[in-house]
Every structure is written in C-alpha cells, then in structure tokens.
Amino acid sequence: MHTALFTTDLSSFADTLPPVFRAVDLTGVFLNGILGGRLARQKRFDAVGFAVLAIISALGGGIVRDLMLASGPPIAITDPYYLIVAIAGAAVAFVLPLEGKWALRLILVGDGLVLGTWAATGATKTLGLGFGIMPALLLGLVTAVGGGMIRDIAAGNVPAVFGGNNLYAVPALVGAVIDIVLFKVGQPEIGMLGAALAACIFVILAHWRSWRLPQASDTWSFSMTPKQWRENREKKARAKDAKNS
C-alpha cells in the first residue's frame, strides 16, 4: 500500500518536470548567450561577433549532438525560441558588462544547473535512440561543453575545458552518469533532476575550492628509474624547505 502510494507520488512529481526542464534549457541558452557575449566583449568584437559567439556558445553542443545522432533537424533550428533567446543573451552582454560579484555568482549557479541538464539531455536522447552507455556519456559531454569549446576556438582561444581552469567537464560527466543510472532503472525525469543538482553543486564547489585536474609536468616521466624518482622527490623537498625558511 505504502509502496504503491510512493510510486504514484513519484510519478506525479516526474510528470511536472518536463516543463521545468524546458525552462531550464532555455535559461541555459540565455546564460550561454551571455557567456559568448562576455567573451566577445573581452575580444572587443562588434555586434556581429557578439551574436555569432552567443549562438555558438548556446546552441553549438546541441547541434553537434543532433547531427551525430542523425535524429532529424537539430532542435535549435526547429524551435525558434532557442535562436531568439541566444541572441537576447548576446544583447544583454552587449549592453551590460556583467562583471559584478553577484552577477558572476548568479551566472555560475545557473551555468552549473544548465551543465547538468544538458549533459542529462544528451545522455537521455542517446539512450532513447537505442545507443549504449559509452555513446551516451560521450554525447552527454558534447551537449554540455561542446558549444563552449567551439566558441573558444572561434574566438582564437584554447578551449577552457582543456585545462588550467576549475573543473567543468568532470561535473558534466558526473551528471551524465547519474542520468544514465536512473534512466536504466526507469526514472529518466528524476535522473535529469539529479544530474542538474549534482553538476551545479560540483561546479560551485570546484569554483570555491579551485579544484583542477593535475597537469602534465616537465619534471615527470614514466621512464624515470627509481633512483631518478628519489632524486627528483628530494630536490622538490629541498626546494620546499628553502621556500619555507
């Protein structure tokens, strides 16, 4: 009795989520339009540059995903709201610098929610078309970070997700994993919610604690002998002691 009641409540809750996810999706398009516009401002581009970077940032990942899945025209083309909202984000970034502390915090939180939602959207769509777990992980990541990568390249920058920045692709991967697990147990809507919340919390913590993946070091080599490894470790210890003294 209690199990049936719980299942009914969970299903009713899940039924209310798709409109929420669409709102979050469009919010993400808007925020990524702003992020593209902020980069255009840093590069001192004109209005065309603002619009192009905003559209690439907001819609690029989803377009690449849909083209890879060959599932019909990308939703960014078939739904006019996406293009309009992306350009609106560019317009906001063109008019307002948005460099204040609270503005950046709001963008960070919103971007984290959207990152998880887009990772879950890519994974869910891939699984729904009959593909396996690995393609779902790949296209979850592509949906979440692909637009930002293309935007950075178009602006002449190394993509931010390639390193030297706070974790971003990893939270997207975590969101995709959560979505895939819950999709497999028959709760795709709850999976999208869990992915969005987990990625958002992860992004905020990574920004707050400056979490980054380790980078390749010129002093490290897998071909070092044990003696070379000990000498390298002792050298680092002496340098640390000298710095502290």
Measured CA distances, 57 to 30, 31, 51, 89 (Å): 10, 9, 10, 10
Q: Are residues 178 and 228 both part of a single domain? A: no
Measured CA distances, 95 to 37, 48, 85, 92, 180 (Å): 10, 14, 15, 5, 40
Q: Are residues 195 and 221 both part of a single domain? A: no
How many domains are there within the chain?
2
Residue 154 C-alpha from the chain's centroid? 18
Record the tokens describing residue 103, joined without a space. Answer: 């503005």
Residue 203 is predicted with a pLDDT of 94
Residue range of the domain that includes 184: 15-209
Residue 83 falls inside a structural domain: yes
Q: Tally the C-alpha atoms within 13 A of residue 22's C-alpha that lie toward its C-beta.
A: 9
Residue 7 falls inside a structural domain: no
Q: Tally the C-alpha atoms within 13 A of residue 153's C-alpha that lie toward its C-beta.
A: 10
Residue 239 is predicted with a pLDDT of 77
Q: Are residues 50 and 129 both part of a single domain? A: yes
Query: Number of helices and strands (H, E) in the chain?
Result: 10, 0
Q: Are residues 118 and 233 both part of a single domain? A: no
Residue 10 falls inside a structural domain: no
pLDDT tens-place values along the chain, 245 residues long: 444 443 444 455 345 557 877 888 888 899 999 999 999 999 999 999 999 999 999 999 999 999 999 988 998 889 889 999 999 999 999 999 888 888 888 889 988 988 999 999 999 999 999 999 999 999 999 999 999 999 999 999 999 888 778 899 999 999 999 999 999 999 888 998 899 999 999 999 999 988 888 877 645 445 556 777 778 778 877 877 776 66
Residue 128 falls inside a structural domain: yes
Residue 38 falls inside a structural domain: yes
Residue 213 CB contacts under 8 Å (≥ 6 apart), including other chains = 163, 167, 170
Q: Are residues 145 and 31 both part of a single domain? A: yes
Tell me the C-alpha distance between 136 and 119, whole Å: 9
Residue 6 falls inside a structural domain: no
Which string of DSSP letters, residue by residue, matches 165-183? SS--HHHHHHHHHHHHHHH
Q: Are residues 103 and 51 both part of a single domain? A: yes
